[in-house]
Structure 1
Amino acid sequence: MSNIFEVLRRLDSELYFYIDQFGIYIYLLLFLIVFGKTGFVILSFLPGDSLLFASGAIAAVGELNLIILFLLFFVATSLADSNNFFIGSTFKKIPADKNFLAKLIPQSSIEKASDFLHEYEKVAISFSRFIPLMRTMIPFIAGFTGHSYSNFVRYNVLGALIWTLIWLGSGFGLGNIPWVEENLLFTLALITMIMFIPSIYGFLAHFHRKNSAITKNSES
């Protein structure tokens, strides 16, 4: 079992090797990994952005089919977030006395999450997949708080399209550069660092707004 998890964890950095090992079935494995990462909170450790980038880079040298990859990743992430949404809505239907999740999460926190999704619906759902952890939590919370699925799926599909185009396209565009091909591990490490920039920016922006509000209240 530990060997399986090791394969999944290192798939993005050793994709060339696993293409030789699995042949055409590598497409099925890629689909399952992307689906699992965003479809189940407990599998958030699986590679995501870096896997799309690596796949695009390898497609650029003709080892994988770009069109198949695009359809595969787009469908996988769209279905996965819907799956996560329905898991959240299922938990919501469980009676409060038997719902361990409802006991762990204060009602006030659920209400705040619901208000946040209502106020920032388009941005929160469409771009949460670019932020680690949030990509799995937002769909779950949307379902758990009773958010409209018709609205969710609309922005979810938009976000899946943007996410797939950016990461797969970046890999494909840079894959023809010899340095990127020869230093794929370093490139993936750099991509991983870039993934945290939106989180850091969001935190700093929130911190600045909070300090500004405190300053205005103290002056008034």
Structure 2
Amino acid sequence: MNVIQFFLNLLSDPRGAIAGWIISLGAVWVYTPLFFIVFIETGLVFFPFLPGDSLLFAAGVFSADGGGLNIWATLIVFYVAAILGNTSNYWIARFFGARIIDSGKIKALTPERMAKLDHFFAKYGGLTIVITRFMPFFRTFAPFIAGTGHMNFGKFTLFNAIGGISWVSLFVLVGYFFGGIPFVQDHFEVIVLGIVAVSVAPAFIGAVKAAMSSKKGDKTKNAKHAK
């Protein structure tokens, strides 16, 4: 129950979680939970629900002067966590991917999501690893799908580094430069929800389009059968 509460608190109030870690762990060890949360979200296909964008933004806010974190340390820790996380996910898929998918234990690995990522890889190739960095859930599954045979490791590593550095830099630096604005401080929770909404929007729009296309296809088939 404590573990569930921990994740709920983290999802709802990343700023409060980081503030608590700064107080309880100190200026050095506070980077440990920050590292592991990003690493686990990107590195283990079982945890796509962990906060990524909002955590990076909140850490950027605390990296401004007097916030308790150092901007360079924050960036480097998150760079390493993001890149190593995807790398771990890739190799887990290489060795255990088919077994994990066939087990059906990961409900989030739906045929629809798998098909959408297959489409992304077919259309954009390595850029899929970069693009999905900015899409919650899909950023957890993309390296897993890449590891099941869609991409060689050298190519994956290149796009993994580009995507990880771009993703971390964007959200941390936005928090760093704009987090101290009074309006942002006063409406932090709403802004975090907005960040999540914007991040999820492409996946949601894609799912709606796919559903509409599927319905149109079914209607066309039914019309042909009727004739």
Indicate the TM-score class for this superposition, using the shorter chain for normalisation.
Answer: 0.7 to 0.9
Residue 173 to residue 53, structure 1, CA distance change in 2 (3 Å): same
Q: 1:181 aligns with which of 181, 185, 193?
A: 185
Residue identity opposite 2:82 in structure 1: T
Aligned counterpart, 2:140: 136
Q: 1:81 aligns with which of 86, 89, 106?
A: 86
For the aligned residues, what is the CA RMSD? Answer: 3.2
Aligned counterpart, 2:39: 35
- For residues 72 and 106 of structure 1, what CA distance do their matches in structure 2 show? 32
Q: Is the 8 A contact 1:74 1:161 kept in 2?
A: yes
Aligned counterpart, 2:70: 65
Q: What do the CA deviations read for 1:47-106 (whole angstroms, capped 9, x no partner)?
A: 1110000011121242211100000111101000010000100025x7xxxx36347599
SS at match of 1:87: helix
Aligned counterparts, 1:1-220, within 5 A: 2-11=1-10, 12-14=14-16, 15-23=18-26, 24-63=28-67, 64-92=69-97, 99=99, 101-102=101-102, 116-203=120-207
Q: Report the CA distance between 1:159 and its aligned residue.
A: 0.5
Q: Is the 8 A contact 2:57 2:172 kept in 1?
A: yes
TM-score (ref. length: structure 2):
0.78
Aligned length: 211
- For residues 79 and 175 of structure 1, what CA distance do their matches in structure 2 show? 27
Q: Report the CA distance between 1:18 and its aligned residue.
A: 2.6
Residue identity opposite 2:169 in structure 1: L
- For residues 100 and 122 of structure 1, what CA distance do their matches in structure 2 show? 23
Q: Report the CA distance between 1:179 and its aligned residue.
A: 2.0
SS at match of 1:43: coil
- For residues 110 and 179 of structure 1, what CA distance do their matches in structure 2 show? 40
SS at match of 2:46: helix
Unaligned 5+ residue runs, structure 2? none
Q: Report the CA distance between 1:141 and its aligned residue.
A: 0.9
Q: Is the 8 A contact 1:113 1:145 kept in 2?
A: no
Q: Report the CA distance between 1:132 and its aligned residue.
A: 1.6
- For residues 77 and 91 of structure 2, what CA distance do their matches in structure 1 show? 21
Q: Report the CA distance between 1:112 and its aligned residue.
A: 8.4
Determine what percentage of the aligned residue pairs are the same residue: 29
- For residues 88 and 23 of structure 2, what CA distance do their matches in structure 1 show? 31
Q: What do the CA deviations read for 1:110-135 (whole angstroms, capped 9, x no partner)?
A: 79855742431133111112112111
Q: What do the CA deviations read for 1:142-191 (whole angstroms, capped 9, x no partner)?
A: 11135211111111111111101111011111112022123322221221
- For residues 116 and 65 of structure 1, what CA distance do their matches in structure 2 show? 36
Q: 4+ runs of 1 displaced by more than 3 Å? A: 102-107, 109-116, 200-214
